[in-house]
A and B are shown apart, each in its own frame.
Chain A
């Protein structure tokens, strides 16, 4: 089959690789109909996630048709149309039983590697490094899906791929970002990053009753989308205005009740020297992540407010403003999305017409074009927001 492979820093290739085989009795093989490039794939592309190997198949947002099932699979059958959640979860461990599927205790065979960097291991993830399992990803024609009875969500034939594909990751991730804010009436939410996850965090905050949602980014087209499509009430271009001052003005000095970091480890910043400092430390691996958005969110947040982190971090950050965080009674909620718990309710919202996630798609390509897609998405060429690939 054809598959998008990581061949080194900023180098991906579409190659011929063997077709996947059943390895565990609860596996299914899915023939992929749609797949997408995720913002977090750019962290792999830019070489910031350790334990990648040349030849690793990328991609963790995909859907398709079941073409083979292992002997222990009972809920799925050949021909079923499914969306596959990006965290691989067994469904039986303590974490899965509590609904925390992204910290499944069984799905990462390389947990020992993750423990060295993270202390304990999170779940395995499709196409996302060896310390997170060494699983081939879904930017390919086929993928093996472990625990097929637990993860994949069946989709009726009537709904087009583009409306449900993002149930695999970015829609639930954005939604969890808003869900973790525990919104109450009158709450103001600020969202750092108006990429696809940020757009869905904004839309979800509106769905969950936020009074006001403020989008923060530096790309005009992204802020425009946030306002026109996602439902942001206000936008801040941090290259044009001061974020803290504008947030002060918009909230009459209270600050946003909830701040969502939808940026993660490779944030940009308008303060040159500070960015250079973080960038330099990152290059020599003295710091793996550039946490500018997170620092700013903490400084901006209302006393007693919530910092909700859904942007991906890989390792360690520097100059974390612990004093403001502690003294102002802030809370922080984090996590790779527990996609499994959000998929079905979000599918209902899509079917009920409350949200159509396809609004983030700006580019459609064939799988063959993936290398061009990665570069375009990374460099924000042609107002790129989200790329969907069809194998």
Chain B
């Protein structure tokens, strides 16, 4: 299934994020200049307002939007901020002490803010409409794109053949419970999520060149839209096989999407590296290497929650 907003909305949101960062930085660094630019008085109080009520707020919104963490909420926050700005500009315009130049600048600034407010409202409405509650699906704005590399000290033919048999994947991909081949290049994948939630989807091989390349992607009503490709190449000087993997996930909206995002989104680079390490271990030593601190073998989550280095009881 296809998730994510239209490219137009995506570009608009991204543009607003960078606009926030740029404007906010200017307000933080040079509040006096900004005050004069909008025709306001330039005193200590208005500088503080410009810097903290304006600059800090814009930077926070910009960072929030660009980090893709709940950008919908940040966009609505921007709309609220726009209203605040317009109120203050209204006060500047209404002030009797304005000279002609100051009033002209305040009018231009107000027009600019009105324009930006319209853009913020449009972006926030569009993103909210696409994403329901907003938030949960926000990672889908960019998707999760992960790369990983490893060299395995075995011939290309052996390494390729092992990966080609999709039923082998759960032996080294830590989040997978099972992959069952359905024939005709199709397979059913099952993963265990946090809190015991099970996620299942079908995938198909979307491209393959023997000993060189395998690509796959989820099909049908997959609960997580994902695809991947892996390249195999003989390493120079008999050093085995070089492997380069690229995975893309588009977690969907809603509760399930949140679970899936958590499942794939937790240190995704580390997860892929750990999976590749397990792949290397299986091919070079015959099995995943376990220690008492990490009884499941390399696993990103376990690196945060190590067991003590003491014998395992269960």
Query: Which residues of A approach B to under 8 Å, CB–CB?
Result: 3, 5, 17-21, 23-26, 51, 53-57, 72, 90-94, 97, 105-107, 109-113, 124, 127, 130, 133-137, 144, 146-147
Contact B312–A21 (Cβ < 8 Å): yes
Bound-state CA distance A18–B309 (Å) is 11
Q: Using known A-B contacts A97-B153, A112-B273, A112-B303, determine if residue A57 contacts B289 with beta carbons closer than 8 Å.
A: no
Chain A neighbourhood of B303, CB < 8 A: 110, 112-113
Of B277, B308, B313, the contact of A54 (CB 8 Å cutoff)? B308
Of B277, B280, B297, B308, the contact of A53 (CB 8 Å cutoff)? B308
Contact A18–B294 (Cβ < 8 Å): no
Contact A109–B313 (Cβ < 8 Å): no
Chain B neighbourhood of A18, CB < 8 A: 310-313
Sample of 17 further A-B pairs with CB below 8 A, known A106-B289, A110-B294, A130-B293 = A23-B295, A54-B308, A55-B308, A56-B310, A57-B309, A92-B284, A93-B153, A93-B284, A94-B151, A109-B291, A110-B298, A110-B306, A111-B298, A112-B270, A112-B298, A133-B293, A137-B309
A interface, over-half SS: loop
Chain A neighbourhood of B290, CB < 8 A: 23-24, 109
Q: Using known A-B contacts A92-B285, A109-B290, determine if residue A134 contacts B307 with beta carbons closer than 8 Å.
A: yes
What is the chain B residue whose CB lies nearest that of A121? B277
Query: Which residues of B approach A to under 8 Å, CB–CB?
Result: 151, 153, 239-240, 270, 273-274, 277, 280-281, 284-287, 289-295, 297-300, 302-303, 306-313
Contact B280–A135 (Cβ < 8 Å): no
Of B297, B298, B307, B311, the contact of A21 (CB 8 Å cutoff)? B311
What is the chain B residue whose CB lies nearest that of A17? B310
Minimum distance in angstroms from B299 CB to a CB of chain A: 8
What is the chain B residue whose CB lies nearest that of A95? B153
Chain A neighbourhood of B286, CB < 8 A: 25-26, 72
Complex A-B: 26 CB contacts under 8 Å: A18-B312, A19-B311, A23-B295, A24-B289, A25-B287, A26-B287, A53-B293, A55-B310, A57-B310, A90-B284, A90-B285, A92-B285, A106-B284, A109-B290, A109-B291, A109-B297, A110-B291, A110-B298, A112-B270, A130-B306, A133-B294, A133-B309, A134-B306, A134-B309, A135-B292, A136-B309
Chain B neighbourhood of A107, CB < 8 A: 289
Chain A neighbourhood of B292, CB < 8 A: 20, 23, 134-136, 144
Bound-state CA distance A56–B287 (Å) is 25
Contact B284–A5 (Cβ < 8 Å): no
Contact A5–B291 (Cβ < 8 Å): no
Chain A neighbourhood of B284, CB < 8 A: 90, 92-93, 105-106
Contact B285–A53 (Cβ < 8 Å): no
Chain A neighbourhood of B291, CB < 8 A: 23, 109-110, 124, 133-135, 146
Bound-state CA distance A315–B63 (Å) is 33
Closest 4 CB pairs of A and B: A134-B293, A55-B308, A109-B294, A56-B309
Chain A neighbourhood of B285, CB < 8 A: 26, 90-93, 106, 147
What is the chain A residue whose CB lies nearest that of B312? A21
Bound-state CA distance A90–B309 (Å) is 20
Minimum distance in angstroms from B270 CB to a CB of chain A: 5
Chain B neighbourhood of A136, CB < 8 A: 292, 309-311
Chain A neighbourhood of B313, CB < 8 A: 18
Contact B311–A17 (Cβ < 8 Å): yes
A18, A51, A105, A112 interface centre (most CB from chain B within 10 Å): A112
Minimum distance in angstroms from B219 CB to a CB of chain A: 32
Chain A neighbourhood of B293, CB < 8 A: 53, 109-110, 130, 133-135
Contact A144–B311 (Cβ < 8 Å): yes
Of A5, A111, A133, the contact of B310 (CB 8 Å cutoff)? A5
Minimum distance in angstroms from A263 CB to a CB of chain B: 26
Chain A neighbourhood of B311, CB < 8 A: 17-21, 136, 144
Minimum distance in angstroms from B268 CB to a CB of chain A: 13
Minimum distance in angstroms from A203 CB to a CB of chain B: 32
